[in-house]
Structure 1
C-alpha cells in the first residue's frame, strides 16, 4: 500500500462526501452558470474561470452567452467578434481553442456537447480539468476536476506535501479525488470542492472554524493548514521595454496594426510599437526610424506621454507611450486606418486599451470619445 492509499484508507469517505455536499447545497453562491446544467454554458464558464476570478468572469459570461447563446452561434461567429467579446479577460488562446472545439462539436456531434470522456477530451483545448469539470457538472459523470482550489483543499485534507507547481503532482490529486468523489452526486461534489477552496479553504488565511469538513482534515489536526499546499516559487518574469505610438492623420483617423495569427495575443489589434534598445538613440528616435522603415510613414511625434506596464505570467511589458501626427505615407499596407468610432469594433489587449485611454484623456489631443 502506498502512502496516498494509506492516508485515504484512514478517512471516512462517505461521511466526507455527505458533509461537503450538504454544505454546498446549502451555501453555494448564486452564479449565472449554475442556473441550469446546459453543457455549453458550463463549458464556457469553466474556460473563462481558468486563471480568472469569479467576480471578473460574471459580466463577461453574461454578455458572451447573450451574444453566442449556443454551440452553433459560437461556431458560426466571426473571430473578430469573438475576440472582442473576450477583450480584457486575457489568455486569448482559451477562446480561440473554445471556438475551434465548438466548430468540431457542430460538425461531428450535431451541435451536442459530447458526454463521453474520449470524445469531449479529444476536443481542442480540453484538458483534464475542463473535461472533468464539464462532464461532472453537466452530465453527472464521476470524473475528477482538479484545479488549484481542489489541490489546496485535498493537500490539507490528506496532508499531501508534494509540490503542486510540478505538473506530475496533479495526477496524485486526481487519484485522490477519484477515490473520494461521490458516484451519486459528482456534480455537487466537484463543485463543492471548488467552492470550498474559493471561499473557506483559501490560500493564506483558511477559515477552518467554518469549514464543513474540518473533522476530516489532517492539516487542521496537525496545525499545518498554513504550510500547505507546498508550492515552489516561479521564476521572475522577464522585462521587455517597448515604445508605442497613437498615430492619427489630418482627418482624425487612427492607425492600428494586427498582431500575427500565432504566438502571444495572436490576432489582436494594437497601436504601432517596437521593442526598444538602450544605446545612443532615444526611444523617440527609434520610433521615428521604425515608422519609416516598416511602414513608410513620416510623422511628427510628441514627447513621452507616459508608461504603461502590463504583467504576463512570464513577461512584463514596459511600454513608453507617444502620440503622433502623420505627415507623409508611402507604404502603410501593414496598418489599418479607422475612425475613433470604428475602433470600438476591434479587440485590443489590455495594455493597448490603456494606451488608448491615455490618448482619450490627454487634453487637447483627442475629443472625449472613449473606448
Structure 2
C-alpha cells in the first residue's frame, strides 16, 4: 500500500508539472486572468474580477462573456460599486447572458461581500456567500488566492474522465472524478493548474474530435490507451423537453411600449419584459390579453430554456388607456436600452421589423 501511494503521488506530480509547463506556453490571454507564473495582483479588485468572471462563465462561452465582463467592470469597477447598484440596472446589464438567477445572486453576493469588508479567502467561507456552489468557491479560492482547491467544471470533468478512463456515467461518476482530480492538483500554483485544465479541455481535450496528438498528457492518458477517449465522460440519455406555447403583447401608445417587470423568482425573474399570458415551463399560456385592443399577429419566436422549448406568439396593438398592474411606458425608439432578455428582445424585433 505505501508503494501504491507513492506511485500515485509521483504520477500526480508529473502530470501537474507537465500541464503547468504547457500552460506557461499556451495560456489564453483573458481579461480576468493574471499571466501564468506571475504573482497575484495586490489589488482588492482582483478577487472581484475573478468572482465576476466565474459567475458569468457558468453555462456560457468565453466569447459571450467577454463583452459583458468588460461592461460590468467599466460600470461597476469594484464589488462595493456593484453592491450599491440598483438590482434592475444590474439585471438590465445582464440581459442576453441568460440564466438570470445568476444576476440576482450576483447582487446579493456583492452586498454580502461589501458587508464583510471583502471576499473571504478560504473555500469553506466562500461557500457561505449567496450563489456560490462547490465549483465557484473552489475556483475563486484557487485562482484569486492561490489556495489549493480541487476545481472541477465541465472541461475538467472531461479531461479527468479520459485521463483516468472513468467509464461510469455521469452524474454518478462525479465523486470519482473529484477524487482523481485531487490526486493531480498541486500544492503550489493551484490557480494556474485549474486554468490549465480548463484550457486543455476547451482547446485540445474537446468533447468531439479531441486533438490527442497535441495533448501534453497523452502519455499518461488511460482513456487514449483504451482506444475511445471521445466517448468519455459517459453521459446519461437526454430527457425530451416539453414544448410550451405562450403569447406576448406589444402594447403601444404615443410611440411608447408598455413594459412590465417579471416576478423576482422563476423564469426570467426580475427582468423587464413585454406582458404575456402567464406561460411557464410547466404549462402553456392562457392566450388572454392583458387589455382590450385590436390585436394583430406579428409572428412567432422560438426559444429554448433549461426545462422547456417555447413557441411565443407575438401580438401588437395600440391603446389610449393604461394596462392594469405595474409597468412603465418605454420609448419605442430606445427599446434596445431597456435591457430585455433575449426572448423578449426577439419579440420586440419581430414587431419592429414589420415597419
TM-score (norm 1): 0.86
The correspondence of residues 150-229 of structure 1 with structure 2, limited to 5 A, is 150-164=156-170, 166=171, 168-229=172-233
The offset of 1:105, in angstroms, is 1.0
- Correspondence for 1:268: 271
Which structure 2 residues correspond to residues 309-324 of structure 1 after superposition, within 5 A?
A: 309-324=302-317
Q: Deviations over 1:286-307 (max 9, x none)?
A: 75x532xxxxx321111x2211
- Secondary structure at 1:254 match in 2: strand
- Aligned-residue offset at 1:235: 0.8
Residue 268 of structure 2: SS of its match in structure 1?
A: coil
SS at match of 2:289: helix
Is 1:82 paired with 2:86?
A: no
Aligned residue for 1:294? none
Structure 1 consecutive aligned stretches of length 4 or more whose deviation exceeds 6 Å: none
Q: Distance in 2 between matches of 1:103 and 1:160?
A: 41
Determine the C-alpha separation between the residues in 2 that align with 1:215 and 1:331.
67
Q: 1:332 offset after TM fit, Å?
A: 2.3
Give, in angstroms, the shift of residue 345 of structure 1. Answer: 4.4
**1:274-285 to 2 correspondences below 5 Å:** 274=277
1:54 lines up with 2:58 in the alignment: no
Pick aligned residue for 1:357 from 349, 352, 355: 349
**Which residue number in structure 2 is paired with residue 252 of structure 1?**
255
C-alpha distance in structure 1 between counterparts of 2:322 and 2:66, whole Å: 46
Q: Distance in 1 between matches of 2:207 and 2:326?
A: 46
Residue 344 of structure 1: how far off its partner (Å): 4.3
CA distance in structure 2 between the aligned counterparts of 1:70 and 1:330, rounded to whole angstroms: 40
Aligned to 1:97: 105
Q: Cα distance, 1:11 vs. partner? A: 7.1
Paired residue for 1:299, among 293, 300, 309? Answer: 293
- Number of residue pairs matched by the alignment: 338
Q: Where does the alignment leave 5 or more consecutive residues of structure 2 unmatched?
A: 35-39, 280-284
- Give the match for residue 126 of structure 1: 132
Q: How far apart, CA to CA, are the structure 2 residues paired with 1:271 and 1:71?
A: 31
Kept in 2, the 8 Å contact 1:243–1:322? The answer is yes
Q: Quote the offset at 1:275 in angstroms.
A: 5.2
Correspondence for 1:135: 141
Counterparts of 2:173 and 2:341 in 1: how far apart (Å)?
33
Q: Say which SS state the counterpart of residue 243 (structure 1) adopts.
A: strand
Does the 8 Å contact 1:247/1:326 carry over to 2? Answer: yes
CA distance in 2, matches of 1:74, 1:318: 35
Contact residue 155 and residue 197 of structure 2 kept, 8 A = yes
Structure 1 residues 134-179: Cα deviation after superposition (integer angstroms, max 9, x where no partner): 1101111110111111010000000101222x2x532222221222
Output aligned runs, 1:318-333, within 5 Å.
318-326=311-319, 329=321, 332-333=324-325
RMSD: 2.1
Structure-2 change in CA distance of 1:314 and 1:21 (3 Å): same
So what's the TM-score if we normalise by structure 2? 0.90
Would the alpha carbon gap of residues 159 and 11 (structure 1) be closer, same or farther in structure 2, given more than 3 Å must change?
Answer: farther
Deviation at 1:204, TM superposition (A): 1.2
Deviations 1:222-242 (A, max 9, x none): 112122110012211111111
Please tell me whether the aligned partners of residues 92 and 272 of structure 2 are also in contact (alpha carbons under 8 angstroms).
Answer: no
Does the aligned pair in 2 maintain the 1:236–1:314 contact within 8 Å? no
* 1:341 Cα deviation from its structure 2 partner: 4.6
Indicate the SS of the match to 1:274.
coil
Deviations 1:52-86 (A, max 9, x none): 01111111111111111101001000111101111
